[in-house]
Structure 1
Amino acid sequence: MAVLASWVWVLAGCFSAAVARISNISVLYPPFWEESPEQLSDYRLEDGKHIINPWIFTDRMGMYRILLTETATYFARYGPENEQNLLWGLPLQFGWQYQTGRLADPTGMRDCGNELEESLCISVDSWWADVNYYLSVLPFLAAVDSGIAGLSPEQITILPPPKDQMRFCYNVSGCQSAFPETMNRWRDFFQYMQLPSSDFDGLLKKLWDAHTLSLEYPTRAFVDRYNFYSDQEASFEKNWAITVYYLGEARLPTTLIRAHSFQRGLPPRVLDDIDIAPFIPDFTPLQNKVLVTLNLLGDIDRYSGSLSLTIWESLMSTKFARKLFLNAFEEFLGTSP
């Protein structure tokens, strides 16, 4: 226990210094963070229920903000200002999707997300938006069901999209019935978080277990969305989903500063057919390099029948190996301390 306690304080000290180097940590927050609901009462109340429309950007972001707010106390021992909260990776990734136009209607048939007056609209035709639904609504409902937010599921109404309503779930009972293992994994994460014996690496494992399992259904269910994109963007979507499984096995720490810095290498816009990495002129050298790497990883995974993932899982089975990978990963991205 003494060794564990010492490790925790060293970790907290290191990240306290990192936070101190950023005079205003709020500059790292995802877009419209301050404008998004921070508590359930910030949502519209109708017939005694708070109405959440996850097809409006700030409404969906608000679910993340509530989760970050309500879980802050459990991460306080790891660093100041909630910076070490492992849930930061979710809203930051969602924010990147918004900023790069990936939540907008990809068919060009509707204004959703493409016009100023519809800028906060999330299109149900967006592959990114549909997959993210299972990484926002499900963890939020699992947290509510776990008692994290001190809320009752009966207090919440999740609105459906304008079409394809049967592809989604909208409440604790419905999501539990349709995706029992995924909901249980998220519930395990939130329940473990509340234990005095919980530790940072254990939280990372449970978070990534829930995260990767959340991808299994939507990445199969929404393959039809690939038709709305260029071949290059569709390929990126497939490779990104594969990459997440490898990052999950490495238990990449999704804290605020790290998750923000990791995203520097992601494409800043939707890819066109003429975008061939590493020769995309309006992308940075790092963004081109990341795309080449994801293409390579995707090909290896497909050609090996995911045997490469099994081997990778074995390689990442120790904390020492994961630490080596994190150092190499940060060196690759140019984000190492």
Structure 2
Amino acid sequence: MAVLTSWVWLLAGCLSAAVAEDSNVSALYPPLWEESPEQISDYRLEDGKHIMDPWVITDRMGMYRILLKQTAPYFASYAPENEQNILWGLPLQFGWQYTTGRLADPTGMTDCGYEAGDTLCVSVDSWWADVNYYLSVLPFLAAVDSGILGIPSDQISILPPLKDQMMFCYTVSGCQSAFPEAMGRWSAFFQYMQSPSSDFDGLLEYLWAAHTSSLEYPTRAFVDRYAYYSDQEANFEKNWAIAVDYIAATRLPTTLSRVHSFQNGLPPRVLVDTDIAPYIADFTPLQNKVLVLLNVLGNIHHFTGSLFLTAWESAMSTKAARKLFLISFEKFLETSS
């Protein structure tokens, strides 16, 4: 239990995001937000179907923008300007992946995602892009199926990548058939969101259940992508996938200002083999510390055979414990500033 208590503070240092809200909410939006489609009709229309290409950054970001806009009424009572919408974590993470070069072709065989080439291209060879597909297309199609977006599923066409088409799904029925648990959990989230009896903690519980379920397949299916990266980046990817389960147990509120601030601790570029935390010169002390703590977490997780995760989930099983964890976030920032 002493180790578990210590981890609360370690994780607080790694993930802390409890900060005062920015008075200019739009300044916190992810990159290319305003350039992305805001409504279904902004997408190209062919044969009565709106064509969405998730392998173009603005098209995928547009799915998030539509989701945030259409779900805004359900979060209006929590804060103005949709700031407390807990779906913000998804586009902000995608935006971080874009700005740090993690959506570009890691093989270097194409110009996909690079400044000298197609800057808006999302590479199917990118581990980050492939995993994120299941946190963008799946929730979007589940929202379509729930009726929140106000458009029939047969009026939407999701385009496949140039290769590995069989590793993705493209329609409501196709995704429900291939990934029934993940789609079911997203549907449950949207149904609960529309319930008059929903509350914020309940929304977080449903969201994180859907989030973690969506990662089960891609984190196993795309392990071959690790070979395209340095050992340091590949290790970061593995540890990040593990950390999500620990974050989920805390039901971290993925609101706009919180996630925006949290991402200050994430690596600002793709890691190379010479990047040894905590000695990466062009990273901030916090970014170096995040990498160290993720390595510690990954090692503990593998050493205990996930028993540590079970203990962590048990420790975070009450609302009081989760509240105490968030308070620890704030105290850590106060003592570190």
TM over 0.5: yes
User: What is the alpha-carbon distance in structure 2 between the residues aligned to residue 89 and residue 164 of structure 1?
Assistant: 27
Moved beyond 3 Å, runs of 4+ = 329-337
Q: 1:34-82 CA distances to partner (integer Å, 9 max, x unpaired)?
A: 0000100000000000000000000000000000000000000011100
Q: Does 1:313 align with 2:319?
A: no
Letter of the 2:59 partner, please give it.
Answer: D
Partner in structure 2 of residue 218 of structure 1: 218
SS in structure 1 at match of 2:217: helix
Q: Does 1:135 align with 2:135?
A: yes
Relative to structure 1, is the Cα distance of residues 274 and 212 closer, same or farther in structure 2, using a 3 angstrom cutoff? same
Task: Report if the CA contact (8 A) 1:261-1:335 is conserved.
Answer: no
Q: Does 1:261 align with 2:269?
A: no
User: What is the alpha-carbon distance in structure 1 between the residues aligned to residue 330 and residue 107 of structure 2?
Assistant: 36
Partner in structure 1 of residue 145 of structure 2: 145
User: What is the alpha-carbon distance in structure 2 between the residues aligned to residue 284 and residue 336 of structure 1?
Assistant: 13
Name structure 1 gaps, 5 residues minimum. Answer: 1-16
User: What is the alpha-carbon distance in structure 1 between the residues aligned to residue 332 and residue 302 of structure 2?
Assistant: 23
User: What is the alpha-carbon distance in structure 1 between the residues aligned to residue 116 and residue 331 of structure 2?
Assistant: 39
User: What is the alpha-carbon distance in structure 2 between the residues aligned to residue 149 and residue 332 of structure 1?
Assistant: 40
Letter of the 1:250 partner, please give it.
Answer: T
Partner in structure 2 of residue 281 of structure 1: 281
Q: Which moved more, 1:320-329 or 1:147-156?
A: 320-329
- The 5 A counterparts of 1:1-337 are 18-19=20-21, 22-332=22-332
Relative to structure 1, is the Cα distance of residues 284 and 117 closer, same or farther in structure 2, using a 3 angstrom cutoff? same
How many residue pairs get matched? 319
Q: 1:256-285 CA distances to partner (integer Å, 9 max, x unpaired)?
A: 000101111000000000000000000000
Letter of the 1:147 partner, please give it.
Answer: G
SS in structure 2 at match of 1:51: strand
CA RMSD of aligned residues (A): 1.5
1:325 shift after superposition = 1.3
1:117 shift after superposition = 4.2
Letter of the 2:232 partner, please give it.
Answer: Q
Relative to structure 1, is the Cα distance of residues 336 and 93 closer, same or farther in structure 2, using a 3 angstrom cutoff? farther
Relative to structure 1, is the Cα distance of residues 58 and 215 closer, same or farther in structure 2, using a 3 angstrom cutoff? same
SS in structure 2 at match of 1:118: coil
Letter of the 1:206 partner, please give it.
Answer: Y
Letter of the 1:56 partner, please give it.
Answer: V
TM-score (structure 1 length as normaliser): 0.92
User: What is the alpha-carbon distance in structure 1 between the residues aligned to residue 193 and residue 281 of structure 2?
Assistant: 44
Q: 1:97-137 CA distances to partner (integer Å, 9 max, x unpaired)?
A: 00000000000110000134400100000000000000000
1:335 shift after superposition = 10
Q: 1:164-220 CA distances to partner (integer Å, 9 max, x unpaired)?
A: 000000000000000001000000000100011000000000000000010000000
Q: Which has the higher contact order (CA 8 A, sep 6+)?
A: 2
Letter of the 2:277 partner, please give it.
Answer: A
SS in structure 1 at match of 2:270: coil
Task: Report if the CA contact (8 A) 1:286-1:333 is conserved.
Answer: no
Task: Report if the CA contact (8 A) 1:262-1:335 is conserved.
Answer: no
Task: Report if the CA contact (8 A) 1:262-1:333 is conserved.
Answer: no
User: What is the alpha-carbon distance in structure 2 between the residues aligned to residue 82 and residue 330 of structure 1?
Assistant: 23
SS in structure 2 at match of 1:78: coil
SS in structure 1 at match of 2:45: strand
1:334 shift after superposition = 6.2
SS in structure 1 at match of 2:157: strand
1:332 shift after superposition = 4.2
1:330 shift after superposition = 4.2
Provide the identity percentage.
76
1:329 shift after superposition = 3.2
SS in structure 2 at match of 1:45: strand
